[in-house]
Amino acid sequence: MRFEEFARINGLLINSLIRNRWVATPTEDRPRSNNGRYKYLGRVGWVQNWATMDRPSMWQDDKESSPADIRRAIKEDNDQKKLLAEKASKKAGWILHQCKKDFHPYLAEKGFEYEVGNVWDSDGKKLLVIPMRIGNKLIGCQLIDCKGSKKFLYGQTSKSAVFAMNAKGLPIFCEGLATGLSIREVLKASNIPYNIQVCFSASNMKTVASTFRNGIIVADNDASQTGEIVAWKAGKPYWISPTVGEDFNDFHKRVGVFEASQDLKKVLMQGMKS
């Protein structure tokens, strides 16, 4: 099987194959965003769909590669990933040091006009910066521009990384920042303590949730059903909008704080009993 076919099976869309480095690429479920990545070395390669895979899947060309060739390629790739991850961690720290607390168009568009965040002026572009940590270690960040386009730092380790809001109450796992902010707003309105873990992707949400004994998942209702499938596999009670294409932020904006809080409380009660 050719590498491009292997990538397609895993949901990646590759228009022009680039060798010897990790390349971001669209996926079948999100063709207008770079939600996939691949690395092709000729004899061996890796693909990852951020929505469905918590780690890269390896391809190898059995016809041209000896076991020694494959072991060497894997070692070289692991060494490079470690180096890039260290650089990304340092760059994230530098970026956060350059940030100012400010309003941002993305937050306003999501219904949080008066919310302030870490805003980085990068060559005239105001980027909202969300730090990503594993434990207390800063490993990277998500950058969101004024139009809502999102990206991570090149080479950063994103598996198991979160942006945590408070550490009280039942753990609540979600994909995106806007969803986390909506959860926080409706719970604060009901005076319910919260422990929100923003996980940045559906696959990582499952990874993070598996490290907690209890909790609930707030899933996106994707047309591909990725969010609900991942939530079900995580084995915890989950909330999902009845409307395809909505996440909790969309639902919150549509129905208001009271109805959103009442709907979420039903799942919270299940989580407290489990």
Give the angle 221-8-175 at the CA atoms, nearest 5°: 30
d(CA 61, CA 1): 8
Q: From residue 61, how far is each of 36, 139, 155 by CA, in Å?
A: 21, 33, 25
Contacts of 117 (CB under 8 A, 6+ apart): 101, 102, 104, 107, 128, 129, 130
pLDDT of residue 267: 96
| Contact between 98 and 129 (Cβ < 8 Å) | no
pLDDT for the residue numbered 64: 62
CA distances from 107 to 144, 161, 252, 256 (A): 10, 21, 14, 17
Instruction: Assign 66 to helix, strand or coil.
Output: coil
Q: What does the pLDDT profile of the chain (274 residues) look like in tens digits? A: 889 999 999 999 998 999 988 899 999 988 888 889 999 988 889 999 988 887 789 898 876 666 777 777 778 778 888 999 999 999 999 999 999 999 999 999 999 999 999 999 999 999 999 999 999 999 999 999 999 999 999 889 889 999 999 888 999 999 999 999 999 999 999 999 999 999 999 999 999 999 999 999 999 999 889 899 999 999 999 999 999 999 999 999 999 999 999 999 999 999 888 7
Cβ–Cβ < 8 Å for 70, 43: yes
- Domains along the chain with CATH numbers: 3-65 (no CATH), 89-159 (no CATH), 162-274 (3.40.1360.10)
Closest by CA position to 186, among listed 165, 215, 205: 165
